[in-house]
Amino acid sequence: MLTLLMALSLLTDGQASPQLVLVLVHEGQTPEALSGAVPHQAAWLLWKRVPPAEPSGWSELSDSSDESPWLPSRVVSFATGRRVAGHWADTLMMLDSAPFEGGSARQAFRRRTGQQPPHPALLAMNAGGLMTRGLLPYTLGARLEQAGKRGLYLYTPHSPPPSPYALIGVGSQGFIPAHEFPDFESLRVAIPTLDADWVLLEMARWDYATLELLLAEGIETWVITLQPPDAGLDGIARLTAVVRYAAREQRGLLTSASTRWAGLMLEVDIVPTLAQAIGGDKVDWRTGSGAPAFEVRLSDWHAFWNGLLPRTATRALRQSLGLSEHRGALERIEEHWRVQHEIAPAILASVALLGTVWVLSGLLLWRIGRLSSSLRSLYSTGLAVLLLFPAVSIWHSYCPFELWTGDVAGDASVIAGWLVGGWVVLALAMAMLARTADMPLLSAAGVIVLGVILLDTYLGGGYGVNRSLLALYLWEGARLYGLDNTYLGIALPIALLAPAGWLEHLGRMRPGTRGFIALSAFYALLT
């Protein structure tokens, strides 16, 4: 009897139990729609700009003409945690028993790679191409294999066909073992008893009630939607929802070092996050483009980078105006996204048109000799006011009102009113500075712009820069904290021309000792 108990104990010790469940949901949902009663942390997942795939070769894989040209690169970036270009063949994921090339996918996979996958298994049909390009060892499944962690793909006869994003689970040989269940209920019941360290499953649409008992057991479960909830959140970059269920932890928001923005993480953060959650220190996640995500309260710097001081001031302003609090961090991220893509282009085009007309009008008057001293003064004043726009763009970020209600005309009028008010305030500050310091208006405008950028960066944690009207490149291509190329391209020329104009106005060739020290300190802050 004792021998039997010892044998059973050894068998139990030798069998793994899933530490984590990854659920890929094909239908787009908001983070709120993925949420349930079990404690969880939510975020928007930002899929940033990736290289489009070449159109050649797709006709061999599918007759659909509606596929996004960014799909292959999104798939590879999501699966490997590295933002790289993908090929159309990379998107082909098939169960080994599925028909393919006149036989089964298993036979085709064996011909292409020489590998003998187990049965059943989920196969990356372009495993050879991914291996040749050096990408296959970076998938989540391959990284965990190196740490001795085994994955399992679960499905039922009613499960949706494997999505291209299931590439995240394949190992270094191009496949992940699979297990079929007769129905989803038996699949859910079996998960805690499976001999695997983590499992991957896909759902056509999210059904919280189906998985609620599993979530309540405390197994860490990540739910990721593969499509935006609507077309307004899609494009070159896009937003989808992600929720982490952890029954023994408190509710909150997810963030990462890639964004430093509460409620926002990147698609390339998923692999390092899950690799660390499953493999711990045995897995090296630093070989990718992302960083592990975590609940914002676990960070010492998230409050700074999410604008603790500005948000406190904005909240006080809303209360003084008798306005209710906005709907939350996740809704605010969605509002900023929609403003950036629906309203900001029109505002930027209007400002660019106004500036072009103003500059050309002045040049025309100068060319025909009609630019009198009074008109010259008016012209330079107008240029100085226009130069304030980068600061006005940051001012937009601190709007205490709801930015997006769906009424484009109404939302645009509210934002325009807020911008005009900020423009007037900054113009008055510019005029006071010019009068007090005996400074040309253009130089004073430059100082105001630089001052706003530095104050926002060093006191607000870049809150305004990240959410400004000029931040679209930050959303789609660059990092989400500090100064991106747009604001560096603004700050550096102004930092050179503003003091030069002031010195010229004073009739000096170089600043004095105190001026030199002040400029040196100022330039040091910019770097």
Band (pLDDT 50/70/90 cuts) for residue 491 is: confident
Rounded to a whole number, what is the largest CA-CA distance in the chain?
A: 110
Mean pLDDT of 372-385: 92
| Integer Cα distance of 32 and 29 in angstroms | 8
Q: Which stretch of DSSP H or E encloses residue 47?
A: strand 40-47
Name the percent of the chain lying above pLDDT 90: 61
CA–CA dist 423, 389 (Å, integer): 8
Residue type, 345: P
- Percent of the chain clearing pLDDT 70 (strictly above): 86
pLDDT digits (tens, 9 = 90+) for 456-471: 888 877 888 888 998 8
Which residue has 């009739």 as its token pair? 507
406, 378 contact by CB (below 8 A) = no
- What 3-state class would DSSP assign to 478? coil
- Cβ atoms of 139 and 80 closer than 8 Å: yes
Residue 398 is classified by DSSP as T
Would you tell me how many other CB atoms lie within 10 Å of the CB of residue 76? 29
Question: Which of the listed ranges 219-223, 282-286, 338-342 does the model predict with the highest average pLDDT?
Answer: 219-223
Kindly report the number of other CB atoms within 10 A of residue 294's CB atom: 19
Q: Let me know how many helices (H) and strands (E) the chain has, helices first.
A: 21, 14
The rounded distance, in Å, linking the Cα atoms of 257 and 270 is 12
> If you ran DSSP here, which 8-state letter would residue 85 be given?
-
The vertex-282 CA angle with 200 and 298, nearest 5°, equals 80
- CA pair distance 452, 470, nearest whole angstrom: 14
Residue 260, C-beta contacts closer than 8 angstroms, at least 6 positions apart: 301, 302, 305, 306, 461, 462, 480, 481
Domain spans of the chain, in order of start: 15-50+69-296, 327-525
Mean pLDDT on 295-311: 60
Q: What stretch of H or E contains 129?
A: helix 127-132
Determine contact, residues 285/276, Cβ cutoff 8 Å.
yes
Taking the C-alpha atoms of residue 203 and residue 180, their distance in angstroms, rounded to an integer, is 14
Tell me the β-bridge partners of 242.
43, 224
First vs last C-alpha separation in the chain: 73
Of the CA atoms within 13 Å of residue 332, those in its CB half-sphere come to 19
Q: What angle is formed at CA 71 by the lines to CA 66 and CA 76, rounded to 5 degrees? A: 160
Residue 60 has a pLDDT of 47
CA distance 241 to 228: 7
- Contact yes or no for 252/297 (Cβ under 8 A): yes
Burial class (CB in 10 A: 0-12, 13-18, 19+), 325: exposed
- The C-alpha angle with vertex 141 and arms to 138 and 142, in degrees rounded to 5, equals 45
Residues in the chain: 527
Whether residue 51 contacts residue 85, with contact meaning beta carbons closer than 8 Å, is answered with: yes
Q: Which range, of 11-15, 139-143, 223-227, 448-452, averages the lowest pLDDT?
A: 11-15
Tens-place pLDDT, residues 68-125: 899 999 999 999 999 999 999 999 999 999 999 889 999 999 999 998 999 999 999 9
Closest-CA residue to 168 (of 326, 20, 313, 280): 20
Domain 15-50+69-296, CATH: 3.40.720
Per-residue confidence at 519, pLDDT binned at 50, 70, 90? Answer: confident
Average pLDDT, the chain: 86
